[in-house]
Amino acid sequence: MSDVMKISDKEKEKTVKSVLKLYRVINHIVNNKLVYLEKELYTTSRKQLSDIVEGLVPFETKKDEQHFYDKVFVCYTDLQLTKLLENVRHLVQCYPKEGAVYFKILDMLYFDNLELDSDDVMRILEISRSTYYRLLKKAHLCYYYHLVAVLKGEIENFSENKLVEKFS
């Protein structure tokens, strides 16, 4: 974790903002791809996607089958990425100091379907502008540390005390 600590807080926050802004785009694209795959199968074979994955619908050629499974694999990989980002959000929620507030802010800004902006979040949470931006910065940093821990596979060795001391 020492390499993570060398990066400035501003860079960490910038990284998290970029990743979380991409979350909504990736999630939308993947869901659209799945809908198109479903429609493609339904119109050509009158079967559902689950049927094809279980091998019930024969393809005309082996190449068609491989092409379809490649598309499904890409969608699956992208869905795993979005699931990972959502799971990290829940780790932030469990964070001992103000984790629930960090979760609400991140959820409303990046994960909620309503696409709220900062002013909406401040109004909903009934907090001042300065408090909001102070909490937003901490929420981004908290998310960053949890994401890095998960990505490095160090979640079982991850010390919340480092974060508690950093944000106190």
pLDDT in tens, the chain (168 residues): 455 557 888 888 888 888 888 887 787 777 777 777 776 665 555 555 555 555 545 556 566 667 777 777 777 777 777 888 888 888 899 888 889 999 999 999 988 877 788 999 999 999 999 999 999 999 999 999 888 888 887 554 445 555 555 554
Number of folded domains that form the chain: 1
Angle at the Cα of 88 from the Cα atoms of 166 and 103, rounded to 5 degrees? 70
Residue-wise over 75-101: b if at least 16 C-beta within 10 A, else e?
beebbebbeebeebbebbbebeebbeb
Return the pLDDT at 9. 86
Tokens of residue 19, six digits: 């990743």
| Threshold 0.75, pTM exceeds | no
Return the pLDDT at 97. 82
Residue 56's CB: how many other CB atoms inside 10 A? Answer: 11
> Which domain range does residue 25 map to?
2-167
Residue with tokens 């089958």: 65
Q: Are 70 and 86 in contact (CB under 8 A)?
A: no
